[in-house]
Amino acid sequence: MVSFDVRTATASQLQELLQGGSVTSEDIVEEYLQHIDKHNDRLRALVEVAPKDRVLSIARQLDEERRGGSTRGPLHGTPIIVKDNIATHPDLGLRTTGGSFAFLDLVPFETASAVRRLTDAGCIVIGKANLSVRTTVAGMPCGWSALGGQTQSPYVQGGWDPREKFGGHSGPGGSSSGSATSVAAGFAPLSVGTETWGSLIMPATRANVFTLKPSRGVVPMDGIMPVNDIYDIAGPMAKSASDITVLLDAMIDIGAPHRPDGGYASKATASWRGLRLGAVDTANWRLDEMLAEPDDNLFQQQEEDLAKEYSKLKDDGHNFVRGFDYFLLQMKSSTVKTVAELVEFNKAHAHLEMPLGEAPLKLPIKTSYSTRSKTEPWTETQTLGRVREGEKCAGQEGVDRYLDENGINILLGPADSWLTDFACVAGYPSASLPLSFWKKNGRPFGVIALTRKHREDPLVQLMSAWESVFPCITPPTL
């Protein structure tokens, strides 16, 4: 008899069971696959599930290694979900489609570096997560793809309301919706998502799970379909802070710059000591008992400047075509080989890729990447200049100055807020902290924590301290 609940089990808890010999990795994978089979048709969190015989074979191999006295570390034999814009080699039995029919036959030469490191560490990829598809449709709701359909929150009573606008209260939020929902619903204890702007933080807060968006450049981004090759960042999602740290440690090089001695896992101390927290007043939001009361005037002044800078820096049309064409060039094979060919595919298959009609085809590429490829990419000099402008405006003159002038080291605010803009443009790390549930429909909500570049360690400490106070794992009723 299986001795764990897939809805609440963390990776660390599963490791204790594996080490104690009460379950095998084969048992664990079997249990998660059965759970997926029961609930994915409704939740649409996964675009594809790995072939059962293949993943069970991998699990048995890892069980044999363990019985032989060999272990690959704290992820040995742990199931994981990977977002479907991240390349996986055919040996894993999963395609890389970005949620689009255009890429059903896309074949990568190899698995993306960040995920390959996870499989080397013993993770078993059991599915590819659904996502919001901006490469095919403009104006579609969060968590929708042509292949995967509409991801549903496992918590929201009544499900997604199609009458709501983009990012409405019933939606799963952000392009990594499938990754977050998979963990929340118990399809796997761990997942990997990606973010350009808010696409890790927003779905995590709406799924009652933790995530950590690392600083720009911490996690290798090769083999990942780009939205904006400057700002895209991959990050872990899990039910506990310790799982986040173990996953992040495995995704990056041991000798990576700014990685703390002992890895990020060593910073999950559950201690509040040394943390100095402040909150930006967004719609008069406060956690008064815990927080300092810093001066919000600086951010109010910065918000207008950031909006101008953000519109330039996040103008994806300048870099999407270049980045996506380069990604496709790195693949072993694909019928659709360029963005221009993707445009033509979408026109020819509008009933699949454009179910709302052909209006999106008339929009400029910066809001509908599938439309045309007339926007000129920035030169290397222009790109570097824009990045530096963003780092100065949102980073040094925004977050850094705010922290310094108020004597704090972490900034908090509602996870569904414009603080994700600062993290995006500055390239700074941020984390999502689960907090509570909206009484109206059961939707989870939480807090975003933001700090300086390459200071993931205090965010890890805060996450671990947070879960020692707040009851973070509240499973949904499926």
pLDDT at 1: 60
Per DSSP, helices labelled H in 151-257 are 177-185, 201-205, 241-251
Q: What are the catalytic residues? A: 83, 175, 199
| Alpha-carbon gap, residue 283 to 285, rounded angstroms | 6
Q: What is the DSSP letter of 107?
A: B
Residue with tokens 């080989």: 337
Structure tokens at 28: 């664990």
3-state secondary structure of 191: strand
3-state secondary structure of 423: helix
Angle at the Cα of 343 from the Cα atoms of 235 and 368, rounded to 5 degrees? 55
Q: Which residues make Cβ contacts (< 8 Å) with residue 40, sequence separation at least 6?
A: 46, 49, 187
pLDDT at 223: 97
Structure tokens at 77: 């034999």
Structure tokens at 54: 């293949």
- How many helices and strands (H and E) does the chain possess? 15, 12
pLDDT at 139: 56
Structure tokens at 173: 């939020």
pLDDT at 16: 97
Q: Nearest CA to 36 among 25, 24, 20, 47?
A: 47
Give the CATH fold of the 1-270+317-381+414-420+429-478 domain.
Amidase signature (AS) enzymes (3.90.1300)
pLDDT string in tens for the chain (478-residue length):
678 999 999 999 999 999 999 999 999 999 999 999 999 999 999 999 999 999 999 999 999 999 999 999 999 999 999 999 999 999 999 999 999 999 999 999 999 999 999 999 999 999 999 998 754 445 567 888 999 999 999 999 988 888 777 777 888 988 999 999 999 999 999 999 999 888 999 999 999 999 999 999 999 999 999 988 888 999 999 999 999 999 999 999 777 788 898 999 999 999 999 999 998 765 544 333 333 444 444 444 455 555 554 555 544 455 777 888 999 999 999 999 988 888 888 888 888 887 754 433 333 333 333 343 445 666 778 777 878 888 888 899 889 988 998 899 999 998 988 788 889 989 999 999 999 998 889 999 999 999 999 999 999 999 999 999 987 788 999 8
Residues 87 and 111: beta-carbon distance below 8 Å: yes
pLDDT at 136: 43
Q: Does an H or E element contain 303, and which?
A: helix 297-313
Phi, psi at residue 213, to the nearest 5°?
-90, 110
Residue with tokens 């710059």: 257
Per DSSP, helices labelled H in 44-96 are 52-67
Task: With both helix axes pointing from N to C terminus, report the angle between 339-348 and 317-329 in degrees, rounded to the nearest 10.
Answer: 90
Q: Please, which residues bridge with residue 193 across strands? A: 235
**Cα-to-chain-centroid distance, residue 473:** 19
Residue with tokens 């939707």: 443
Q: Which residues make Cβ contacts (< 8 Å) with residue 389, sequence separation at least 6?
A: 309, 312, 313
Q: Does an H or E element contain 228, and which?
A: none
pLDDT at 9: 97
Domain ranges of the chain: 1-270+317-381+414-420+429-478
pLDDT at 281: 66
| Alpha-carbon gap, residue 426 to 410, rounded angstroms | 15
Residues 275 and 465: beta-carbon distance below 8 Å: yes
pLDDT at 231: 87
Residues 136 and 346: beta-carbon distance below 8 Å: yes
